[in-house]
Amino acid sequence: MESLGLLSSKLTNILGLKRSPVAIKFIPQGEPLPQGFASPEGVRYCQILMKASEGESVLLTPEHIACPASAAALGFKLLPDKLQSGEMLAAYGIFASREAGQNTLRTMPRLPMGQYQVVAACPLADAPYNPDVVVLESVPEHLMWIALAHVRTTGGRLNFSTGILQATCVDGTILPFLEQRMNASLGCYGCREATNMSESECILGFPARYLADIVGQLEELQVKSLPRVRGKAVFQALERRTQSSQEG
């Protein structure tokens, strides 16, 4: 099997990614931690994902996590009452009422409380472990090709789930891990406020066991489909006909 470094390089080069794919590992209680990883204080999950996509290797611990929603989703801490009730989400104007916020939080997938001591995040190419999930933040066109590569040999449809809340931690990471399937998200209030995610970027995560096959299918798509789409020959033909009719 090809190394993570080679798979990451192929993924990056084929699509033209600007951020590194991120390798996420949930480390259970009692297992050794990877060496050479920073453990910054007062950070959110979406922020360690940002740091890893920019080249850093980071550990997120229950002691240092700053976001109560992602702390609960990761099984680090219980959800505070004001958040669980939906009061905080309504106060921020994210949802129109406490009931709406509460209903969304009630549907959130979460890891078992206390099962994992740390979340490790680093560039895919640098991962010293077998990742649980690979997460990408990029423009929709890049994520489209990854999603197509995932179903290229089977066909069918992909179903993406999002509450427009906890987009990076739940939608992009925890749901793919728990349900062992690809998921995508449009982003959320938290990650767009707390990180440098641009207006044009979205999130996609998938179990790392699919990585080699996805890259292999991207190589096949690169032969014909991808350059044809990016060449926009059909659109250019329309533009020429439109220009010709206007000139005539």
Q: How far is residue 133's CA from residue 210's CA, in Å, rounded to a whole number?
A: 9
Q: Based on the structure, what is the number of domains in the chain?
A: 1
Beta-sheet strand order (sheet of 183-185) = 58-60, 116-123, 22-28, 133-138, 202-207, 183-185
Q: What is the pLDDT of residues 92-126, one digit of tens each?
A: 999 999 999 999 999 999 999 999 999 999 999 99
Question: What mean pLDDT is reported for the chain?
Answer: 96
For residue 149, pLDDT beyond 80: yes
Q: How far is residue 52's CA from residue 21's CA, in Å, rounded to a whole number?
A: 8
Structure tokens at 114: 């206390």
What is the pLDDT confidence band of residue 145, given thresholds at 50, 70 and 90? very high
What is the pLDDT confidence band of residue 13, given thresholds at 50, 70 and 90? very high
Proportion of the chain above pLDDT 90, given as a percent: 96
What is the C-alpha radius of gyration for the chain, rounded to an integer number of angstroms?
20
Q: What is the pLDDT of residues 30-76, one digit of tens each?
A: 999 999 999 999 999 999 999 999 999 999 999 999 999 999 999 99
CA dihedral defined by 50, 214, 183, 203, rounded to 10 degrees? 30
pTM: 0.95
For residue 248, pLDDT beyond 80: no
> Mutual orientation of helices 140-151 and 211-223 as an angle, nearest 10°?
100
- Residue numbers of the domain that contains 217: 4-247
Average pLDDT over residues 232-236: 94
Average pLDDT over residues 128-145: 98
Q: How far is residue 157's CA from residue 61's CA, in Å, rounded to a whole number?
A: 36
> Mutual orientation of helices 140-151 and 4-15 as an angle, nearest 10°?
120
Q: How far is residue 64's CA from residue 49's CA, in Å, rounded to a whole number?
A: 15
Consecutive H or E run containing 27:
strand 22-28
